[in-house]
């Protein structure tokens, strides 16, 4: 028989269990409700965002690059629509089938096809593979007509770089090409805006102004299905185009410089002698920068790279050349400024019969029969070496070096604008002691006086030197870019580079005689019309030491091997009565300045002066903006 107390114990036990189970259910249910509340209310935004990330994708497009314009607003580097074909491998169900279909449609060669497969292996599955970056309209249309059978293939209308004037601006602007790992590492802006197919500046101003030119990415936001396929565009955010940069260069003069140097290696620079604006700056030979935009072919690259005239070298900024007789105006000016000579100082030049001999070394004048008695003006006019040997000997290299540096030789003209620009070399006694550990020799002073020996200059430095002689001896700051933001800032007053302004006028007059009077070395290239008349100085820079046998043979330029011919130089300013512009011309292995370089100046000055009124008119419009 069951005891009543046992029933009570059992009942209490059941009640406790029921209570515990019920309490547990309440706790669990409360926990679930609490968690659901937390997830759906408190964490609503977080999980909505995560959900959207699975459902919504963003596609960052290449930014639209800013343009370059010349002084008159002509676009010299712009953009155009390029037809491209992209594939994201992870979004394609059967990549092998799809890529083979693309091969058939575009009629790709086996070499092109293998190159695409190689690129695919180098990329992550979710990274965009650019199958073609410059499709013809015909092929672009064919791809669009077969999209029903090409899941994951994206025909894209992209923006690419275009250089309408081709080789005319190559060494000024440089070129763009696809960004590589080094570009991304070295430039944070490129890193932040990088997408597949992004083109960035590799050389020239394209590289110097990369941060301003690159622009902002456009963002496309779209909805995808469970397979990651695009089903609906939700939004499109247009990125801001890069900054448009306006240059000081006149395209017509730049084109003429290119024409004059066709089939030659050399440089032509033209500068406003008061503002320092660069009117033209061309290095030859050049090449078409459009070839690099989508990747240059190996054959074309080898042709450019192996060309003996070195088209990849910007001779205007990188070329270090002996200035030859174009340095004589500075030698004469330095001697006048330091009171070493006056205009009546005379030297008897006897040519090869009685040359200057010093410590067993013979120093000849270029003219075999000699020039006779020469004062400063006639010596400059006829470029008498013997006269300048004696002036340099009396002056000394240190004083000459000081004056040359004042006028812009021996340092970068554009500062940090171009990383490739060379300083050249204006030697002095201390330089040789520091660099070579040797004492300076008197014979080295003598040959420096005619622009030979250690002295090295760039064509743009010679143009600046001449501009500052032409403007009356005042310092100017050359510039290539018109800064709209700072156009209203006051311009510093010119700083005089002379001790006595009369000395500058003496040099100007001597350069006038060299071009416009009989026996002047560039007399045959003169222009009698005062509107175009200019004053200049020829130069012939030796590339090898002239031996006695060479003097006896007295070969014509065309009879000498090309690489042994002298460089031809010419510097000038004009119009003489009211100077506005200066130029420098260098032709590698051109023979001599009077027959090769000076005739180019004649053609240049006619165009420069004819376009001066257009330039002034454009300047007024620019100031009114």
Cα pseudo-dihedral 380, 384, 386, 391, rounded to 10:
10
Asked whether 239 and 217 are in contact (CB, 8 A), the reply is yes
489 in helix, strand or coil?
coil
Note the pLDDT of residue 110: 78
Boundaries of CATH 3.40.710.10 in the chain?
251-298+316-624
User: Which pLDDT belongs to residue 151?
Assistant: 73
Residue 311 CA: distances (Å) to CA of 239, 319, 620? 36, 12, 37
- Which pLDDT belongs to residue 546? 61
- The pLDDT, as a whole number, for residue 326 is 97
- C-alpha 167/C-alpha 393 separation (Å) is 45
Question: Which one, of 200, 207, 236, 209, lies nearest residue 58 by Cα?
Answer: 236
Count Cβ atoms below 10 Å from residue 328 Cβ, excluding itself. 30
Q: What is the pLDDT of residue 17?
A: 73
* Fold category of 58-247 in CATH: Penicillin-binding protein 2a (Domain 2) (3.90.1310)
Sequence-ordered list of residues with C-beta below 8 angstroms from that of 78, at least 6 positions apart, any chain = 67, 68, 161, 162, 164
CA 280 – CA 36 distance, rounded (Å):
73
Task: Find all residues with CB under 8 Å of 427, minimum gap 6, and list them.
Answer: 397, 401, 444, 448, 453, 454, 455
251-298+316-624 fold: Beta-lactamase (3.40.710)
Task: Report whether 325 contacts 514 (CB < 8 A).
Answer: no
The predicted pLDDT at position 327 comes to 97
DSSP letter at 334?
Answer: H
Dump pLDDT digits (tens) for 55-67. Answer: 676 777 789 999 9
User: Given this model, what pLDDT does residue 363 score?
Assistant: 86
Rounded-to-integer distance, Cα 144 and Cα 119, Å: 23
pLDDT of residue 307: 93
CA distances from 588 to 167, 260, 345 (A): 19, 13, 34
Using DSSP's 3-state secondary structure scheme, residue 535 falls into strand
How high is the pLDDT of residue 618?
79
DSSP structure string for 540-553: EE-SSPPPHHHHHH
CA 309 vs CA 84, 172, 262, 303, 424: distances in Å:
36, 18, 12, 11, 20
Whether this model's pTM surpasses 0.85: no
CA distance 443 to 619: 50
pLDDT score for 51: 53
* Residues with pLDDT less than 70, the chain: 1-12, 35-55, 57, 126, 224-234, 360, 484-493, 544-559, 562, 620-625
Question: Which pLDDT score, from 0 to 100, does residue 6 have?
Answer: 65
Q: Which residues in the chain are classed under CATH 3.90.1310.10?
A: 58-247
Strands 372-374 and 361-363: unpaired
Which pLDDT value is given to residue 44?
63
Q: What is the pLDDT of residue 217?
A: 85
């Amino acid at each position: 028989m069951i005891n009543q107390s046992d029933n009570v114990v059992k009942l209490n036990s059941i009640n406790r269990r029921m209570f515990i189970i019920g309490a547990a259910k309440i706790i669990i249910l409360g926990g679930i409700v609490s968690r659901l509340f937390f997830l759906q209310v408190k964490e609503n935004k977080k999980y909505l965002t995560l959900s959207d990330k699975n459902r919504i994708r963003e596609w960052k497009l290449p930014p639209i690059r800013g343009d370059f314009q010349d002084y008159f607003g002509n676009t010299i580097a712009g953009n155009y629509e390029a037809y491209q074909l992209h594939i994201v491998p992870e979004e394609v169900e059967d990549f092998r089938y799809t890529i083979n279909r693309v091969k058939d449609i575009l009629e790709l060669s086996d070499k092109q096809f293998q190159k695409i497969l190689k690129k695919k292996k180098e990329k992550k599955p979710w990274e965009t593979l650019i199958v073609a970056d410059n499709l013809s309209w015909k092929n672009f249309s064919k791809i669009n007509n077969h999209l029903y059978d090409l899941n994951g293939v994206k025909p894209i209308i992209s923006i690419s770089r275009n250089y309408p004037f081709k080789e005319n601006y190559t060494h000024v602007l440089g070129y763009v090409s696809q960004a590589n790992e080094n570009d991304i590492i070295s430039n944070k802006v490129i890193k932040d805006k990088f997408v597949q197919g992004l083109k960035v500046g590799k050389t020239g101003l394209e590289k110097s102004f990369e941060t301003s030119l690159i622009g902002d990415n456009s963002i496309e936001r779209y909805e995808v299905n469970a397979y990651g396929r695009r089903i609906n565009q939700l939004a499109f955010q247009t990125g801001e185009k890069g900054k448009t940069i306006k240059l000081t260069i006149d395209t017509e003069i730049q084109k003429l410089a290119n024409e004059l140097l066709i089939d030659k290696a050399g440089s032509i620079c033209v500068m406003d002698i008061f503002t320092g604006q660069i009117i033209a700056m061309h290095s030859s030979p050049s090449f078409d920068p459009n070839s690099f935009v989508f990747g240059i072919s190996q054959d074309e690259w080898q042709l450019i790279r192996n060309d003996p005239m070195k088209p990849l070298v910007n001779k205007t900024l990188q070329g270090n050349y002996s200035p030859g007789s174009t340095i004589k105006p500075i030698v004469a000016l330095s001697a006048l400024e330091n009171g070493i000579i006056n205009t009546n100082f005379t030297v008897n030049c006897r040519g090869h019969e009685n040359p200057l001999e010093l410590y067993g070394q013979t120093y000849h004048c270029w003219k075999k029969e000699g020039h006779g008695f020469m004062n400063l003006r006639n010596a400059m006019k006829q470029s008498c070496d013997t006269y300048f040997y004696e002036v340099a000997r009396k002056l000394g290299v240190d004083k000459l070096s000081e004056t040359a540096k004042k006028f812009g030789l021996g340092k970068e003209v554009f500062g940090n604008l171009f990383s490739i620009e060379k300083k050249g070399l204006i030697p002095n006694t201390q330089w040789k002691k520091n660099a070579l550990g040797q004492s300076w020799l008197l014979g080295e002073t003598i040959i420096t006086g005619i622009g030979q020996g250690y002295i090295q200059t760039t064509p743009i430095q010679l143009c600046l030197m001449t501009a500052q002689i032409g403007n009356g001896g005042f310092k100017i700051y050359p510039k290539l870019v018109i800064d709209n933001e700072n156009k209203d800032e006051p311009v510093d007053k010119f700083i005089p580079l002379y001790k006595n302004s009369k000395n500058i006028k003496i040099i100007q007059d001597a350069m006038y005689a060299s071009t416009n009077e009989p026996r002047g070395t560039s007399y045959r290239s003169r222009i009698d019309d005062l509107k175009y008349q200019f004053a200049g100085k020829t130069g012939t820079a030796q590339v090898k030491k002239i031996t006695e046998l060479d003097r006896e043979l007295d070969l014509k330029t065309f009879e000498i091997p090309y690489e042994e011919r002298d460089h031809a130089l010419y510097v000038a300013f004009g119009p003489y009565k009211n100077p506005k512009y200066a130029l420098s011309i260098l032709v590698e292995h051109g023979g001599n300045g009077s027959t090769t370089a000076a005739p180019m100046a004649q053609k240049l000055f006619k165009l420069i002066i004819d376009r001066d009124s257009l330039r002034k008119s454009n300047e007024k419009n620019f100031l009114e903006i």
